[in-house]
Structure 1
């Protein structure tokens, strides 16, 4: 069986190395967008066939059609365009970083951490015209570390994928995999996140504020508050074990050299870490929400 690997970032590289470990080589490796210089360097060092970059569906279809060895299967690991024409010509399996049928949609890792999931998973499923709806061929669950960031959870899940993908593919090739249903009636759906969604607004639930800060501390758009007509990034947080009385307004109760102390509306006592808090004219009793 001839395999094409497509996706973004280090996704196809992880699949490639897992295939190589079990003696398999894809006929095509492609990245929808050119990755960072560091990741691109890894592709150049580790991938022994030509790397194709910068495509949407129509261009990818032309690339695959022009190959001397037409692939029997496309493995997609994080291309973010909708496959339509490709599904008419190829079997496509897709990597989705959630325990399907739960968390269908974009940004499942962000939502899982914000929602406080204690375990989470990653799935390989058949790609269909409906997003994240095809039969499930492989799935792995892990425990979510405390105070986990999106980056850390992604890395833990991708290690599981890389460790097992080569052997999964061999079983798939020999038709030893029996897919399991991905029922719509058991599915949960999540919204795509935007930079503005990183604002801390969930002050009725201090534990959620804490989880959100930790989830986003690895991201390009970390958690933030608006105060003094300024956007103030929050790069870390601590939460006291005890609880204070509930409050109607969230105010700064103390200004520290590395951040501020606040009490959420449900009585959670939180230390919000801020780089250079002196730059923001923060004062005790200022209202946050």
Structure 2
């Protein structure tokens, strides 16, 4: 089987390591804005075309892709909207790997959103591409547990590995003509969709309950931007906090430091308190050194 690979970033590198042992790579198309250098090295190693193209739906590209006689197109972290002609071009279709349990968590940043929503599991889905956003029929899907010690970094690490493995499984099913595709509406008639996170979305709200606050901080910690608030000396990134066992529920000033211990400071939030353990100053060139907060009791932090 010959595969045309549309891809970018660490997700695509890990998947390609597995795919090259099972299929013939016909060409590699990177994201046009980043033109991933690791994928370029792979193309040179495999002696296949490396083709950055601004619009894969253009007639010129489609005419060229036809000549490669690829049987299957695979998308792994590719960022262009695909139209009907290119979707239907290869014999076995166009497939994509998505780090969400479709039909839920369609759209952007699913690993961030699944933590923000306090889910107990995250999903990975390999599906056929159609003209909707993550709406095509499902080929393979698996769920993975989320624990209280997981954060964005740990989910990302798991997802890169597991997405590659599930993609390989899906390609094997296609090769063997063994796909039993699942229509997404048979799982749920509506599902959910999440938009891209933008500047300003990182601001915390100290009126949130402890569980929501904890979920938000771990959802966008490094390699994300970090949850943000204003401290005594400027903007802060809140990179780690913990839930406090048996914390009392009471009304008081939200965002105020109400306690300290060897691990950090206790912050009053909407319904209770959380232990803030890692922060960094926000600087023009990025985040400063990660450190334990040492604010005095009575210090007030300000969110959105």
Give the distance between the partners of 2:115 and 2:195, measured in 1 at CA.
14
Give the distance between the partners of 1:207 and 1:224, measured in 2 at CA.
17
Give the distance between the partners of 1:97 and 1:127, measured in 2 at CA.
14
Post-superposition Cα deviations, 1:154-206, rounded to whole Å, max 9, x if no partner, equal 22123223234334313202321110111161411223211321111153311
1:44 to 41, 44, 64: 41
Q: 1:80 to 1:174 in 2, by over 3 A?
A: same
Give the distance between the partners of 2:49 and 2:170, measured in 1 at CA.
24
Q: 1:136 to 1:270 in 2, by over 3 A?
A: same
Q: CA RMSD in A?
A: 3.1
Q: 1:89 to 1:41 in 2, by over 3 A?
A: closer
Per the alignment, residue 268 of structure 1 pairs with 273
Give the distance between the partners of 1:176 and 1:272, measured in 2 at CA.
50
Give the distance between the partners of 1:43 and 1:195, measured in 2 at CA.
31
1:201 to 197, 201, 205: 205
Q: Give the deviation of 1:63 after TM superposition.
A: 4.6
Per the alignment, residue 252 of structure 1 pairs with 257
Give the distance between the partners of 1:136 and 1:190, measured in 2 at CA.
19
Post-superposition Cα deviations, 1:132-175, rounded to whole Å, max 9, x if no partner, equal 11110111111123332223212212322323433431320232
Q: Give the deviation of 1:109 after TM superposition.
A: 0.6
Give the distance between the partners of 1:207 and 1:167, measured in 2 at CA.
36
Aligned residue runs from structure 1 range 1-289, under 5 A: 1-22=1-22, 24-33=23-32, 40-41=37-38, 44=41, 47-50=45-48, 52=50, 54-58=52-56, 62-63=60-61, 65-66=63-64, 68-84=67-83, 85-87=85-87, 89-90=89-90, 91-183=93-185, 185-201=189-205, 203-228=207-232, 230-250=234-254, 251-254=256-259, 259-275=264-280, 282-288=295-301
Give the distance between the partners of 2:156 and 2:182, measured in 1 at CA.
24
Preserved contact between residue 242 and residue 269 of structure 1 (Cα < 8 Å) = no
Post-superposition Cα deviations, 1:203-224, rounded to whole Å, max 9, x if no partner, equal 3311121122222222241111
Q: Give the deviation of 1:33 after TM superposition.
A: 4.6
Identify which range, 57-66 or 12-21, moves more after superposition: 57-66
Give the distance between the partners of 1:100 and 1:202, measured in 2 at CA.
32
TM-score norm. by structure 2 comes to 0.81
Identify which range, 172-181 or 146-155, moves more after superposition: 146-155
Preserved contact between residue 258 and residue 277 of structure 1 (Cα < 8 Å) = no
Structure 2: 5+ residue stretches without partners: 281-288
Q: Give the deviation of 1:228 after TM superposition.
A: 4.2
Preserved contact between residue 28 and residue 39 of structure 2 (Cα < 8 Å) = no
Figure out how many residues of one structure are paired with residues of the other and give that number: 285
Identify which range, 216-225 or 58-67, moves more after superposition: 58-67
Q: Give the deviation of 1:97 after TM superposition.
A: 0.8
Paired residue secondary structure (1:242): coil
TM-score norm. by structure 1 comes to 0.84
Give the distance between the partners of 1:176 and 1:99, measured in 2 at CA.
21
Identify which range, 44-53 or 86-95, moves more after superposition: 44-53
Q: 1:259 to 1:56 in 2, by over 3 A?
A: farther
Q: Give the deviation of 1:103 after TM superposition.
A: 0.9
Paired residue secondary structure (1:89): coil
Give the distance between the partners of 1:242 and 1:60, measured in 2 at CA.
60
